[in-house]
Structure formats: C-alpha cells, structure tokens
Amino acid sequence: MLLRPAVVLTSLLLTAGPAAAKVVSVRPPASGGSAGASVEVDRAAPVDRSAGRPLAGKVIVLDPGHQLGNSRFPRQINTLVSAGPSRKPCNTTGTATNAGYPEATFVWKVALAARRQLEAQGAQVLFTRGTNSRSQWGPCVDVRGRAGNSEGADAKVSIHADGSHARGARGFHVIAPASVRGWTDDIAAPSRSLALAMRGGLGTGGFPRANYIAGGDGLDFRSDLGTLNLSDVPTVMVELGNMRNAAEARRMTRRAGQAAYARALVAGLGRFLG
C-alpha cells in the first residue's frame, strides 16, 4: 500500500540471504537501523542464455516494500527524504490483512520466491532490504528509488499489496512512472513496457485486474512516488491485490499463493527481458 503522500534515504542494495552469486562487497544493515551497503556486479561473468537460462546476464532488482519494523520507528519513518521533484516521508508502515498478516511479510515471501525462480533462469537478483525484521526499519523510498542505478539493472520491480476497505475491492494494478522532465522522462517508455509485461504476467497467472482503482485496466501512472521517480532503470510498482479482501488475503498468506504471485511476476519479467 502506498499512501499518496509518501516516500525516501541513500544507497542500499542487498542480496536476500546467503549464496547470492556474482555479488560482492555486500555489507548487511546494522542492527536496529537502515544502513547503507554497496554491491558490485560482475559483468564479466559468462553469459549463457541457452539451456533454460533465458535470463542469464540480466540484473534484476526486487524491492519488497516496507520493512516489518517500520511502525516501531516513527521518527525515522516520518523523516522527509527526496522523492524526486518533492520531498516525502521516508516510508510508511504498509497495510495488513484483517487478521493482521503484514504487507511487509507478504511481499518479502513473494520476493524470496521470485528470486529463486529468477536465479534458476540465470538472472542476478538484488534486493533493497536484506531482512524482514521487527527490529529494523527502512530503507527509505529514496534508497529504494535509486537501487540498481549504479549497477545498470535491466529492470526493477517494487512489490506491494494494497489495503482498500471499499466493499468488494479486489485485484492487482501496476504503477509505472509518469514522464517527469529531468526525472523519469528517460525511463517512462521502457517502464510502460515493463508495466504492460507485468500486467500480462499477472493476468496469465489468473490474477484479476483491480476493480476499485486504476480505471479498471490494471495500469496506473504516477509522478508522486520516489521509488519510481529516482530510478534510472526501467521500473514499476506492483500492487498485487487487496489484503483487506478475504479471498485475496487467503491466497496471500498461504505459501502456494505466494509462489503463484511470484511466478506471475517472473513471467512478466520474462516477457520484458526475453
């Protein structure tokens, strides 16, 4: 969930968990905070797009929205950071199901599953946070927005879920950056292509387009999100569904459902990068 007024921090790219191939110089975040880290991408690695590794050589950033502990660090989370042409709060707490299953945890699980699938296809996957922890916060939207820029990532997907209380509200929507001169005019066109690909992947995966937002076509374009505005690589935000919808909440909180969302994201990335 992204509140209209919200966003940013500095330079953080982490691989999620152990054994991230082709990534070096990763420094995990300091306990209790959002620390910077550096990542170098080994572009000299041999590229083999044959034999079921169609994404070999591709660098993909996954941004699981909202650290789990954000609500425990209100001062840090409300600090204003760059969102591109404006300043916004560092981040928000995200939403949850009616039973309290957090968006932060849902998107983390989806990102981990997607990472496994993408790596199996040969891609290198970078994360914007290395933990899902109640004792940590961040990174802010500016860090998320800049993630992948210095690595020249091929695509970046920010993963979220919405929290609408509107009756019967359900379905996904994909948010691409509107073209803002000096900020996103260089990535608006490829990001729109990425958005169409992600919408296709989610549709093929059986997920319905949102019936309560984005005009019914599952696509939205926004100029107010630092996560998108600060990117120099093609990027979109996906709101995978409505956590306040009982049927979608069931799917989002189950392992099989999380894997299905991940497959849909990976399918979308495959359409864009293939």
How many residues at the interface with Zn ion, by CB under 5 A? 4
Q: Are 122 and 85 in contact (CB under 8 A)?
A: no
Strand-pairing partners, residue 193, are: none
Number of helices (H), then strands (E), belonging to the chain: the values are 7, 10
Torsion angle (degrees, nearest 10) of CA 49, 153, 110, 132: 130
Using the contact rule CB under 5 A, the part of the chain among 50-58, 155-163, 189-197, 255-263 near Zn ion is 155-163
DSSP 30: P
**Of the listed 103, 119, 151, 239, which one is catalytic?**
239
Does 175 sit near Zn ion (CB under 5 A)? no
151 is catalytic: no
Helix, strand, coil: what percent of the chain each, to 5?
Answer: 30, 20, 50
CA-closest candidate to residue 95, choices 65, 73, 62 = 65
Query: What x-and-dash track marks residues 75-94 binding Zn ion by CB under 5 A?
Result: -------------------x
Interaction with Zn ion in 50-79: which residues (CB under 5 A)?
65
Which residue in the set 1, 83, 169, 194 belongs to the binding site for Zn ion (CB under 5 A)? 1
Does 226 sit near Zn ion (CB under 5 A)? no
Cα distance from N-terminal residue to C-terminal residue, the chain: 29
Nearest distance, CB of residue 103 and Zn ion, angstroms: 5
Nearest distance, CB of residue 85 and Zn ion, angstroms: 21
Q: Which is nearer to Zn ion, 144 or 160 (CB)?
A: 160
Q: Which residues in this chain contact Zn ion in the complex, by CB under 5 A?
A: 1, 65, 94, 160
Which residues are annotated as catalytic?
239
